[in-house]
């Protein structure tokens, strides 16, 4: 697995083969960044952005953000093996000063997060078998850890039936084989 854009382009990222952790495929990642950077539907800049990478695994999304100009990425992961590899990736790429790694459950992160930390881009990539994404989105909204101008990106299994209508405004949904990527935000007209 390699970084596909920015100042770290071409550098290798070590990944983990596991039943609970799956890498974000390069063509999906490239598509996500093309949409963030080039779509008229998205009005969030990656340049100098504060990124939250939930269920970060080995960190490929958050590291890619740093490579493409993000100011800082906060990684949240509970899997010990994935964390070990994430730390090695950050160390190897010499980006430690731009990273914050939270080693715990997502719920613990929300309970302990500094309310002054606000994020422009929040990426959620939970295991496909889990069904707590909507609850996580409610926690994010209730904690108010996002900037006024923000973007939520969720990676889900294509056949998942999550109902985002009560929690966020869906801007776009893109499908890639077994995966789908949902782009949205917390607009004021959604409860």
pLDDT at 20 over 70: no
Q: What is the mean pLDDT of residues 45-56?
A: 95
133-154 as b/e: b if 16+ CB within 10 A: beebbebbbeeebbeeebbbbb
Mean pLDDT over all residues of the chain?
A: 89
Helices (H), the chain: 26-38, 60-67, 80-92, 106-112, 133-143
Asked if residue 46 lies in contact with residue 68, where contact means CB atoms within 8 angstroms, the answer is yes
Asked if residue 102 lies in contact with residue 90, where contact means CB atoms within 8 angstroms, the answer is no
Q: What pLDDT score does 25 carry?
A: 81
Q: What is the mean pLDDT of residues 114-128?
A: 85
Asked if residue 77 lies in contact with residue 16, where contact means CB atoms within 8 angstroms, the answer is no
Q: Which residue did the predictor score with more confidence, 25 or 33?
A: 33
Q: Which CATH number does 26-185 carry?
A: 3.40.50.150
Question: Is residue 21 very low, low, confident or very high in pLDDT (cuts 50, 70, 90)?
Answer: low
β-pair partners for 41: none
pTM of whole model > 0.85? yes
Q: Give all strands of the β-sheet with 146-157 in edge-to-edge order.
A: 99-103, 72-77, 50-54, 119-124, 146-157, 179-185, 169-176
**Domain ranges in the chain?**
26-185
Q: What pLDDT score does 18 carry?
A: 60
Q: Is 102 helix (H, G, I), strand (E, B) or coil?
A: strand
Alpha-carbon gap, residue 23 to 116, rounded angstroms: 30
Query: Using one digit for the tens of pLDDT, what is the confidence trace for 122-181?
Result: 999 987 777 788 999 999 998 889 999 999 999 998 888 888 888 999 999 999 988 899
Report how far apart, in Å, the C-alpha atoms of 156 and of each of 74, 76, 123, 132, 177 are: 21, 18, 11, 11, 11
Q: What pLDDT score does 109 carry?
A: 87
Q: Which burial class, exposed, middle or buried, applies to 186 when counting CB atoms under 10 A from its CB (0-12, 13-18, 19+)?
A: middle
């Amino acid at each position: 697995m390699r970084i596909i854009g920015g100042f770290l382009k071409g550098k290798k990222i070590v990944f983990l083969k596991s039943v609970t952790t799956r890498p974000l495929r390069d063509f999906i990642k490239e598509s996500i960044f093309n949409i963030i950077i080039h779509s008229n539907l998205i009005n969030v800049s990656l340049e100098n952005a504060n990124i939250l990478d939930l269920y970060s695994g080995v960190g490929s999304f958050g590291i890619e953000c740093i490579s493409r100009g993000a100011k800082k990425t906060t990684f949240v992961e509970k899997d010990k093996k994935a964390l070990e590899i994430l730390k090695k990736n950050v160390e190897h790429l010499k980006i430690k000063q731009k990273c914050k790694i939270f080693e715990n459950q997502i719920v613990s992160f929300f309970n302990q997060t500094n309310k002054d930390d606000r994020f422009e881009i929040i990426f959620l990539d939970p295991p496909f078998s889990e069904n707590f994404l909507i609850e996580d989105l409610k926690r994010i909204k209730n904690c108010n850890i996002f900037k006024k101008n923000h973007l939520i990106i969720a990676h889900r299994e294509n056949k998942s039936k999550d109902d985002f209508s009560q929690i966020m405004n869906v801007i776009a949904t893109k499908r890639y084989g077994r995966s789908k990527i949902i782009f949205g935000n917390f607009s004021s007209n959604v409860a």
